Amino acid sequence: MSQAWFSRYAWGVLVWNILVALWGAYVRATGSGAGCGSHWPTCNGEIIPRSPQVETLIEFTHRATSGLAFLSVLFLALLAFRLFSKGHPARLSSGVAFLFMITESLVGASLVLFGWTAHNVSAARAVVQMVHLANTYFLLASLVLTAWWASGGAPLRLRGQGAVGAALLLGLLALLFLGMSGAVTALGDLLFPVRNTLEALERSLTPGEHFLVRLRVLHPLIAVSVGLYVVFAGYLVAHLRPSSHTRRFAHALAYLYGVQLLVGLVNVWLKAPVWMQILHLLLAYAVWLLFILLSAAALAQGARRVELGEGTEAAHRGTGGATWKDYLALTKPRVISLLLFTTLLAMLIAAKGWPGTGLFLVVALGGYMMAGAANAINMVVDRDIDARMRRTAKRPTVTQRISSRDALLFAFGLALLAFLLLWWGANLLSATLALMGLIWYVLVYTLYLKRRTWQNIVIGGAAGAFPPLVGWTAVTGELSLFAWYLFALIFFWTPVHFWALALMIQDDYRAVGVPMLPVVLGERVTVMQIALYAVLTALISLMPLLLGELGLVYFFFSLTLNALLILKSLALYRQPERRTAVSLYKYSMLYLALLFVAMAVDRVL
């Protein structure tokens, strides 16, 4: 038997086990798990049931196909040890796959023997469902790695991977956690069906309801937050470990997860019919396996490691001697200050007063850490152009007081702690929105738009509009129309603020080839765009008055602030020079801060 034949067989075994796992989900979703009674491995005391009911036929078919899957994995492991030499990774992965196949069989047997089937609502059943899902994930991961390595994939190099290894490990754990939460949610859908989505939400928030009902509402938010991170990690890893495989897997992961979220929404809307549950689980398996393949390609021996300068002119290993001030500089405290200010003022606006000292401090710390993590990653990605710009030439990643590897580890640590802190101290929605801001800044702005189009700051600037949403949801737990107004205000304010800065340092941007608006279309177009966005910002700032959310205090403050913003924009239009650009740039920061103060004062009074 050739290794090429073995490769095809390995992929076939993977597909077969996916189908068997999906049929097992069908058994659970249709309540057929007790179709063979409490007997195992026999079915109702018989090897082959006679005159079976539909439920018995479904359960017996699952057991028969599972037996064939067991034999296929055993045969795979035996062939791997015969065909490949000692030390080949396919031998290890196939052996591990067989071990997980054994535990898969034992977990399945325990469900039957202990009666954790049909309408059993015990906590033990929920725990075993999560263990079953995790074991299936590990089994499929072992099988896909066997097929990958049998097809010519390079062995793994786990040592020295730094932040890339940490990011991938966190992604795998997050997907595993998401899958386990999905298993519990699916069990809740089976045991506690609802007529509509509103009823599901109301019951999830009702004290005294069964824990399976109350946990159901968390799964969609977990899915969004994990999806954001997985897509982010995929693209960042593809940037730091560039190859045709990592890029292909990162793109496929992003598209597939988008489809998965859409299917999840439809599943909720349709009240989780069996066929939608199966499709949802199939996509979950596909996302998991794609992330496994991305990890295998990124951590392969011989893979180029960009953050260590492999294959480039400059090394980024760091010179050592970094102090806490250098790590603080990674977070860009001056840039964060205004973002954090809008976050905390949004809390006062939402609460119409003091939101509570504990919550205030949690959001302040968590918000700073998440924004600081985004800025640290930005410094690593942009270190090549930062080194050639006067404004950024002293950043610690440029001077190499901090290596790119350490900067990324620091950033991922900050982001993880920030997410957990916001989830614990505020709520999951706030943590998810904070993570969304980081991902928008790193992926959309830094990695995709910044070096491609002059619209970079218009679209990418949305990252700076997420902080008020974090503050608002920390207090209210939901996103109202007023919260989205705060988002829109910062979104349209950002071009006014940033393009004024771009006018001041356009020579730096031109030298490094970053297509900021003044570089691409010139100063006259830039000042016209600034004036247009200043007018739009002023109009949007008046919207809460029309909605009845704010009163006279805000009205008079906003009129004064908007008049000055438009006047300074017009002054820049008449005299597009550094002096007027500096004046508008500095005032734009004061404008936004005072506008938020005016809203907070008006809501409190």
Confidence check: pLDDT of 4 > 60: yes
CB 431 within 8 A of CB 225: yes
* Confidence grade of residue 589 (pLDDT, cut at 50, 70, 90): very high
The pLDDT value recorded for residue 313 is: 43
Per-residue pLDDT reduced to its tens digit, 209-263: 555 666 667 788 888 899 989 999 999 999 989 999 999 999 999 999 999 989 9
Question: Whole-structure pTM over 0.95, yes or no?
Answer: no
Instruction: Give residue-wise pLDDT tens across range 177-192.
Output: 999 888 888 777 666 6
Residues of the chain with pLDDT > 90, as a percent, come to 57
Pick the more confident residue, 303 or 59: 303
Residue 389: strand, helix, or coil:
coil
Q: Which residues contact 2 (CB under 8 A, 6 or more apart)?
A: none
Q: Which residue intervals of 331-393 are DSSP H helices?
A: 333-351, 357-381, 383-386
**For range 98-113, the mean pLDDT:** 87
Question: Which alpha helices (H) appear in 299-332, and where do they start and end?
Answer: 324-330
- Window from 105-119, 259-273, 414-428 with minimum mean pLDDT: 105-119
Q: Which of 203-212, 381-390, 504-513 has the lowest mean pLDDT?
A: 203-212
* Residue 315 confidence class, pLDDT cut points 50, 70, 90: very low
Taking residue 252's Cβ as centre, other Cβ atoms within 10 Å add up to: 16
State residue 431's pLDDT score: 95
- Nearest Cα neighbor of 220 from 187, 255, 185, 193 is 185
Residue 199 has pLDDT above 60, yes or no: no
Q: What six digits make up the tokens of 437?
A: 């801001």
**Predicted pLDDT of residue 188:** 72
Residue 205 pLDDT > 60, yes or no? no
41 cis-preceded (ω within 30 degrees of 0): yes
pLDDT tens for each residue of 11-60: 999 999 999 999 888 887 777 666 676 667 777 666 677 666 777 777 77
Average pLDDT, the chain: 87
Rounded CA Rg of the chain: 28
Tokens coding 231: 């897509």
User: What pLDDT score was predicted for residue 33?
Assistant: 62
Chain centroid offset of residue 427 CA: 16
Q: Tell me the per-residue pLDDT of 447-473, one tens digit each, with 9 for 90 and over.
A: 889 988 988 888 888 999 999 999 999
**pLDDT for position 39:** 66
What b-and-e string marks burial along 67-89, b requiring 16 or more CB atoms within 10 Å of the CB? eebbebbeebbebbeebbeeebb
Phi, psi angle pair for 300, to nearest 5°:
-70, 150
Q: How far apart are CA 41 and CA 69, in angstroms?
A: 15
pLDDT number for residue 51: 60
Cβ neighbours of residue 519 closer than 8 Å, sequence gap 6 or more = 454, 502, 506, 509, 510
Higher pLDDT, 234 or 302: 234
Q: Give residue 416's Cα distance to chain centre.
A: 11
CA dist 320 and 399 (Å) reads: 10
How many CB atoms within 10 Å of residue 513? 10
Q: How would residue 376 be classed by pLDDT, with cut points 50, 70 and 90?
A: very high
Whether the CB-CB separation of 474 and 522 falls below 8 Å is answered with: no
DSSP state of 77: H
The confidence score (pLDDT) of residue 58 equals 77
- Residue at 604: amino acid letter: V
Q: Give the model's confidence band at 320: pLDDT under 50 very low, under 70 low, under 90 confident, else very high.
A: low
pLDDT of residue 21: 92
Rounded to a whole number of angstroms, the distance between the first and last alpha carbons of the chain is: 82
Give the Cα separation of 479 and 14 in Å (integer): 42
pLDDT of residue 604: 87
Sign of torsion, CA 468 473 478 480?
A: negative
Max alpha carbon distance in the chain (Å)? 92
SS3 300: strand
The whole-angstrom separation of Cα 399 and Cα 397 is 6
**Overall average pLDDT of the 57-83 stretch:** 89
pLDDT at 104 over 60: yes
Q: Three-state DSSP class for 120? A: coil
CA angle 524, 529, 533 (to 5 degrees): 150
DSSP assignment, residue 46?
A: B
**Spatial distance between the Cα atoms of 34 and 174, rounded to a whole number of angstroms:** 32
Amino acid at 422: L
Alpha-carbon distance of 89 to 155, in angstroms, equals: 6
- How does pLDDT run across 381-406, given as a tens digit for each residue? 998 898 888 888 888 988 888 888 89
Residue 10's CB: how many other CB atoms inside 10 A?
A: 26
Question: What pLDDT does residue 284 have?
Answer: 94
